[in-house]
Structure 1
């Protein structure tokens, strides 16, 4: 059963819209390495060309999705969506990032001579923790309270800044994936190394989904109305 809602051909729709309206699409995009969070405004056809992907193959994978098998949709009501972001993503980042930093420090120290050790990974994770914490505080103390007080519109300036910071977060994830070979473990990796890569892969998935919910679902509610 097709999950296509719009009559516009999939290849002409933006990846952000598809991710926001087709349950399960985000998993397809992650498998094809299509950036639907920081560059959600790009049309599917253009995104496929940029990645060197056959757009017909990507469309086929999306159209094969079944609504009944899709992931649970994010809450539609703004207050509930904000609460979901706070509990599912903000709290998780604060809990898991420090653990990843500690593991990365240990792996880099114990396996310093290993040719595949991810030198500098702890520093990137530490930088991410500092920047993400400031970012989340802006949302929790300024943006989200403002959103709860108004129906729509009028928040273009703070949202633009947060979108810019999302791009920076995405660049840091790319650094992590590059230095770890997409979190591919070397032969005989110790348990700490294994836990580090499994946890970091989850961090990447979580952060991508987190940014998607904000960039493609929450933020547009307070941008489009202010320009209309």
Structure 2
């Protein structure tokens, strides 16, 4: 029960702080009022999605691994902030990706200490998952020559790979390739709307969405 209150309080505090400082600054937004309204509606929708994800994480992991559930709740506000910034600016800022790495590392370390001795196996798997997913996205960025994955995606990948790897390799694979499934489905939607060739599509939200879906359904 104590883990539940601590995790919920940290999630709400982090979400409010990040939404205030990094996502919804109190300044006039460029563009029309209609564009501002659309952005505000999107932010509200994603905030609700984050709360639903938090509920799914608690429901899935709280009894089995409360330390890991707390780690996920700690990193979730940063993932929400990264999603919103990538949608608005088509970039993943270093301050947020670095913070995500630090929070994920600390959270998984606490999760490992909260488990039995077998948790060290999970920690090693998390390190391997972080390294493999980071190298995978680095290879995609280098092969794309700047036209595919960006360095922000590369910097986000280790955090997601660590979380997925902590659970298991099947979950790692589901989360890693789920991002491309979601991105491909959205690409089809854009093509049906006649925007397939001209639209710029940030990939960070699909990386995060695929990872969260895999973690909730593991």
Same fold (TM over 0.5): no
Q: Name which structure has the greater RCO, CA cutoff 8 Å, separation 6+.
A: 1
Larger Rg: 1
Query: Comparing both structures, which one devotes a greater share of its residues to helix?
Result: 2
